[in-house]
Structure 1
Amino acid sequence: MMFTKAITRKPCRALIDGITTAMYDDATPVYEKAVEEHDTYVATLKELGLEVEELDADERYPDSCFVEDPAVVMERCAIITNPARDSRNGEKDEILPVIKKFYSDDQIFFIEAPGTMEGGDVMRVGDHFYIGQSERTNAEAAKQFNDIVTKFGYTSSTVPVTEGLHLKDFVIYLENNNMLVSPVMNEQPAFKDFNRYVVEPDELYAINSLYINGTVIVPEGYPKTQKYIEELGYPVKLVDTSEFRKIDGSLTCLSLRF
C-alpha cells in the first residue's frame, strides 16, 4: 500500500489537559517539547515522500492533534467518525473541511449516533478493516462502518479491545503479513494467520509503529522492537513521541495517511 498524502494538526497549548488513562506515563506533557516532536514527525513524513497538509492548532480541543481519530480515510471514500468523549466530539466538524479538499461529497460518509467511533480503533490490512470494540468504538458504529465500506469493495470485522484505549495501541500491521502485538492480541483468533511479534511488556508503546511506503517509523527508545523490525528487513526511522505518550498519543494517531 502506497501513501502520497497526509493530514496533520499542530499541537495546541491546551494539550496539557488532554485525556489520558496514564496507561504509559502519568505525567503532564511539556507543550514546547511536544511542538518540537511534532515538527520532527511531520518532517519525517515529508522525507518519506508524503505531501502533508498541516492544520493550525485548535485550542478548543486539547486532543485535536490526534487527527486519526475523527476520520478514517481510504482510496475510495472517507468516513467522519463520531468520537465518544464530549471533549473530542467537535473535532469531527473541524476535520470535515480538509477532508472535502480530497474527497467529493458522494465519497464522504458519517458515523451517526448512537454509533461512536475513533480512528485509533480501525486497523487496515489490505482491503479489510479490523474494528476494535472499545470504550470509544461501539458495535453500532462498527455496523455503520461496514455498511459504508462494503459499498466500495472493502470488508470489515470486529475485534474486542480488552486492555487500554484503542485497538492500534495493542496490534499494528506492518504490511507483508507482519504484525506487532501485545500478549493479549497474540491470542486473538482473527490474527492467527499473521507473522506476529509479541512485544515485551516494557516496550508495549512501540507496538504503535507506523509503516510508510516500505519504511517503518518507530518511537524512539524501544531497542528490542526496533531490532526486530530491522531484522524483518524494513528501513527504520526513529521519532521521539514521549510528550504525546503522556496522554496516550502515538505515531499513527498524529496523522491521516492516504
Structure 2
Amino acid sequence: MFKNVIVRIPSKHISEGITSANEGKPIYEKALVQHENYVSALTKTGVNVTVLKPEDDFPDSCFVEDVALCTRKCVIITRPGAQSRRQEAALPDMVTTLHKFYDNVESIKEPGTVEAGDIMMVGDHFYIGLSARTNQEGANQMIEILEKYGLTGETVPLKEVLHLKTGLAYLENNNLLVSGEFKNDPRFSKFNKIEIDPDEAYGANCIWVNDYVLVPAGYPKVQQKIENLGYKVLVVDTSEFRKIDGGLSCLSLRF
C-alpha cells in the first residue's frame, strides 16, 4: 500500500516539452486543470500528496517519476538521459522532500543515465528498461544499489517505446497490462497478462494505488478490462501530457 505521493505543478512553458508525438502542443491552462484532477483522483486512494511548485525553467518537470526511484527501503535519485532534464533530479525542493521521507538516499553517477519511467516495481524486484534514456551503466548502478538493500533488478531491452512503463503496468495481484513489444516477452510469462489492443496502446500506462487503478480517459477497452479484474477505476484525462510523451505514471512518485 502507498502512503505518500509527490507531484509537481506543470511549468508555464510545458508547451516546450520534449515530444515525439504529433498531437500538437499542450495548452498550459488545460494541463493545469488536468493536473489538479489527477491530484484529486490520487487523494481518493487515501495517500498524502505533496505538491511541489512549478519549475518554469524545465518544461518537462511535472514528470517527476523520472527523477527518482522510490522503494520501501531507499530512494535512488536518477540521472535523466535527456540532457534538458538532467538538472531536474537536483532541484532543491525535490531533494529536500525526498530526504524528508527517506533516511537512505542514493544516486546514479555519471556516465550512467536512468529515467525511472523505465523502471517497473513488482514487489521487491525491479524491471529496468534499456532505452534512449536509460543506459546499461545506469541500469548496472541501479541494480547494485537495489542489491545493497536486499532488493533485486534485471534489465529489459526496449525496441519500440520511449520508456518501459509506456507499454507495461503492474496492477498488483500478479496482473500485468502489456502492449506492443512486451506481449510475447518471456520475462513476463509468469504474470496474468492483460493484453492492450494497438489502437489503445497509450492506455497501457495506468497506475495502481491502494486497490484503485487510475486509467487515462478515452480508452474504454482498457477501462473495461481493468474493471473486469475487480479494481476500482478512476478515469483521469491526460490529453495535454500525452502531447509531450507523458502519461499517468510519469506525473507522480508513489511510495
TM-score per shorter chain, which class? Answer: over 0.9
| Corresponding residue for residue 133 of structure 2 | 136
Alignment counterpart, residue 199 of structure 1, candidates 196, 199, 212: 196
Deviations 1:63-109 (A, max 9, x none): 000000011111110000000122100001012121111112xx111
What code does the residue aligned with 1:20 have?
A: T
- Matched ranges for 1:107-186 at <5 A: 107-186=104-183
Q: Within the alignment, does 1:190 sit opposite 2:187 as a pair? A: yes
Q: Distance in 2 between matches of 1:111 and 1:53?
A: 24
Deviations 1:144-188 (A, max 9, x none): 011111111110001111112100001111111111111310111
What code does the residue aligned with 1:144 have?
A: Q
Give the conservation status (yes or no) of the 8 Å contact 2:12–2:56.
yes
Q: Within the alignment, does 1:245 sit opposite 2:242 as a pair? A: yes
Q: Distance in 2 between matches of 1:173 and 1:214?
A: 12
Alignment counterpart, residue 253 of structure 2, candidates 248, 251, 256: 256
Q: Distance in 2 between matches of 1:196 and 1:109?
A: 33
| Corresponding residue for residue 30 of structure 1 | 27
| Corresponding residue for residue 103 of structure 1 | 102
Q: Does the residue aligned with 2:109 lie in a helix, a strand or coil?
A: coil
- Matched ranges for 1:62-81 at <5 A: 62-81=59-78
| Corresponding residue for residue 234 of structure 1 | 231
- Matched ranges for 1:32-51 at <5 A: 32-51=29-48
Unaligned runs of 5+ in 1: none
Q: Does the residue aligned with 1:180 lie in a helix, a strand or coil?
A: strand
Q: Distance in 2 between matches of 1:86 and 1:116?
A: 10
Alignment counterpart, residue 219 of structure 2, candidates 219, 222, 240: 222
Q: Within the alignment, does 1:60 sit opposite 2:60 as a pair? A: no
- Cα shift at 1:197: 1.5
What code does the residue aligned with 2:79 have?
A: N
What code does the residue aligned with 2:125 have?
A: H
Q: Distance in 2 between matches of 1:8 and 1:182?
A: 26
Q: Distance in 2 between matches of 1:45 and 1:125?
A: 20
| Corresponding residue for residue 17 of structure 1 | 16
TM-score (norm 1): 0.96
Q: Distance in 2 between matches of 1:194 and 1:16?
A: 38
Q: Distance in 2 between matches of 1:91 and 1:151?
A: 25
What code does the residue aligned with 2:82 have?
A: R
Q: Distance in 2 between matches of 1:71 and 1:171?
A: 19
How many residue pairs were aligned? 253
What code does the residue aligned with 1:220 have?
A: A
